[in-house]
């Protein structure tokens, strides 16, 4: 009787371990599975509503919310002719599409909300400084140029998997 219980318990324990190792994403998440070994930091991206197997001995995982937005204020004096520092309300989020999920995971997985916001601030600030060198202060606030500047900023943000959203 003891041998039978032992023989039944081993597959049950193994099944429980495997069940805990399978991870499922909701339709609003991606799963990033990465190696714990720093020498081979390969990452696997599991798309929304997908499944993935995580080896608890050699891998770690993180869920990334697709529709999470990161609001922040950017305050700086980008234009020399403006004597007051400007405050820009910014909202960034994750770009949609598998290629962007992989880009985001490669660049930003493992960072907390503040780390992502700091990277977005740096990218947007650098781009606004570039724009300020090219145009006058009054031209920058011209509405017909807004989409052009937004596109220019988004091109840089897309390189890390983020996009500038309208507030």
Q: What is the pLDDT of residue 36?
A: 78
Give the global pTM: 0.64
Per-residue pLDDT tens digits for 81-92: 666 666 767 788
**Which is it for strands 59-65 and 51-53: parallel, antiparallel or unpaired?**
unpaired
Question: What is the residue-averaged pLDDT of the chain?
Answer: 76
Asked whether residue 76 carries a pLDDT value surpassing 70, the answer given is no
Tell me the three state secondary structure of residue 59.
strand
**Which is it for strands 22-24 and 59-65: parallel, antiparallel or unpaired?**
unpaired
Q: Write down the domain spans for the chain.
A: 2-65, 69-164
Mean pLDDT of all residues in 75-99: 70
Give the C-alpha separation, 108 to 112, whole Å: 9
Residue 82 or residue 36, greater confidence = 36
Asked whether residue 75 carries a pLDDT value surpassing 70, the answer given is no
Give the C-alpha separation, 147 to 29, whole Å: 29
Per-residue pLDDT tens digits for 106-160: 777 667 778 888 888 888 888 887 877 777 665 666 656 677 778 888 888 888 8
Per-residue pLDDT tens digits for 3-22: 777 778 888 777 777 777 78
Mean pLDDT of all residues in 43-70: 80
The DSSP-derived string for the chain is -HHHHHHHHHHHHHHHHHHHHEEE--TTEEEEEEES-TTS--EEEE-TT-EEE--TTTEEEEEEETT-EEEEEEEE---TT--S-EEEEEEEEEPPSHHHHHHHHHHHTT--HHHHHHHHHHHHHHHHHHHHHHS-HHHHT-HHHHHHHHHHHHHHHHTTTEEE---
Mean pLDDT of all residues in 67-78: 70
Asked whether residue 167 carries a pLDDT value surpassing 60, the answer given is no
Q: What's the CATH class of domain 69-164?
A: alpha beta
**What pLDDT band is residue 70 in, cutting at 50, 70 and 90?**
confident
Q: What is the pLDDT of residue 115?
A: 81
């Amino acid at each position: 009787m003891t041998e039978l219980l032992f023989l039944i318990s081993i597959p049950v324990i193994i099944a429980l371990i495997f069940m805990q190792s399978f991870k499922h994403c909701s339709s609003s998440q991606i799963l990033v599975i990465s190696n714990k070994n720093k020498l081979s930091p390969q990452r696997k991206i599991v798309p929304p509503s997908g499944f993935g197997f995580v080896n608890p001995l050699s891998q770690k995982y993180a869920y990334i919310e697709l529709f999470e937005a990161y609001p922040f204020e950017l305050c700086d004096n980008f234009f020399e002719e403006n004597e007051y520092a400007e405050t820009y309300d910014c909202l960034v989020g994750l770009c949609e599409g598998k290629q962007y999920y992989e880009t985001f995971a490669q660049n930003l997985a493992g960072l907390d909300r503040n780390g992502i916001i700091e990277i977005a601030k740096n990218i947007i600030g650098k781009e606004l400084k570039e724009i300020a060198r090219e145009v006058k202060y009054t031209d920058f606030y011209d509405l017909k140029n807004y989409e052009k500047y937004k596109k220019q900023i988004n091109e840089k943000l897309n390189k890390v998997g983020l996009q500038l959203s309208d507030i």
